[in-house]
Amino acid sequence: MENLNTSVETTGSGSAPMLSRFARTLVIQQLRLLAEGQLTVRETGFEDLVFGDGNTGYPPAELIIHDHSTWRDLLTGGSVGAAEAFVAGDWSTPDLVALLRFFTRNVDRMNEFEDRFSWVTKPTLKGLHWLNRNTKEGSRKNISAHYDLGNALFETFLDPTMMYSSAIYPSAESTLEEAAVHKLDTICRKLDLQPADKVIEIGTGWGGFAIHAAKHYGCHVTTTTISREQLELAQERVRQEGLEDRITLLFDDYRDLEGQFDKLVSIEMIEAVGPQFLDSYFSRINALLKPQGLALVQAINMPEQRYQRALKNVDFIQRFIFPGSFIPSFGAILESVRKESNLVLTHVEDTGFHYARTLHDWCERFMARRDQLEAMGYDQAFRRLWHFYFAYCEAGFSERAIGVAQLVFAKPGNKRESILSV
């Protein structure tokens, strides 16, 4: 077995095109700099390569190269290239999360490497992302591209609440459904929902929050989505619950919402806003709340140190899963709040590790339904893409490369005391 500082090639080394051999050399040079955890690379015709430190306590990671073009994809494409090669079957691993956690743990080194070589693909990716910016028309197109893939797809891995956002697990033994319900109840209690409250929700999903709040807290919820498929299923679920008198479903852009409400909820919708429209988002939240109002925003967030770089790049999620998406930092959020509102931040709770577990549960359910997904028309390439998506995000939350938090904002007229006992 080969270790960090040598590179022994055997009879297979001459079979790959020159560009792939050159890419392999450069990628291996970079892998030698990664020290957080241990990675073994296996490739037919070459000695095994071992990188990093096996004494760090992290699970070992393994990368198995099946096609030499993988090296070129890794060199020039970053996370986008890695995903494309995985979907094509050009590489595999016995533990995808462990492998992606290894690279995420060494993210600063990997970013340095990607910045040096991504000039080949970066202009195209940035151009495509710019075309996907979240104007009113663009937002509908972007949301449709993901959420209108078919409600049946999402039903294969979501629990019966149909909550497509981080759950909060009250115990190690909790099921996904129990954790989703606990998250919903946590939100309602943080907002101190009362039967007389008029609540506005930005981002209906499939109606999970609206149904829970109206059913268990007796309030009236007005909620909006711009996904046609979500709207239709949410309407059906509201009818089944007999809550038509307490839930108003809209098919409107959040920028077009009007009225005054006691409470506002937006669960992981901010990621679909885009940096150019973050001010507009908080301006609308501010305008929709009564002088004594409260808002809870559940937001995936980027560490401050990496936010500016993220704005200049396009990752796997933006390219293949959520077109037009972005992850704000707390600094970006609070700057928009400062400029566009008189909202006061009164509470923040990070639940990033709960999201890692949520994604793990989603992935297990998704992978267990391969045959069902195949019969529904979702081919192997699609299933491999979504496997990568779940694992990529689980790795990110597990290593704190990204986080998720519930932020509660109060209007100055709201004098409620601390909610830390929730």
Let me know: does 352 contact 397? Beta carbons within 8 Å.
yes
Identify the sign of the CA torsion 313, 132, 319, 327: positive
Active site residue 219: no
Strand ranges in 241-342 using DSSP code E only, listed in sequence order:
247-250, 261-267, 289-301
Residue 127 to residue 113: CA distance in whole angstroms: 21
* The pairing of beta strand 247-250 with beta strand 220-224: parallel
Exposure class string for 117-129: b at 16+ Cβ within 10 A, else e:
bbeebbeebeeeb
Residue 31 to residue 223: CA distance in whole angstroms: 48
Structure tokens belonging to residue 75 = 């060199």
CA dihedral 160, 161, 162, 166 (to 10 degrees): -120
Please provide the DSSP assignment of 218-240 as one string: --EEEEE-S-HHHHHHHHHHHHH
Let me know: does 3 contact 55? Beta carbons within 8 Å.
no
State the Cα angle at 198 between 196 and 200, rounded to 5°.
155
Residue 138 to residue 229: CA distance in whole angstroms: 17
Distances (CA, A) of 252 to 201, 204, 305, 374: 11, 11, 35, 34
The backbone region for 162, taken as left when phi is positive above 0, alpha when psi lies in -120 to 50, beta otherwise, is left
The closest alpha carbon to 404, from 305, 270, 313, belongs to 270
Exposure class string for 44-62: b at 16+ Cβ within 10 A, else e:
eebbebbbbeeeeebebbb
Let me know: does 155 contact 378? Beta carbons within 8 Å.
no
Let me know: does 145 contact 189? Beta carbons within 8 Å.
no
Looking at 188, 219, 363, 393, which residue is catalytic?
393
Q: Which residues are tagged catalytic?
A: 393
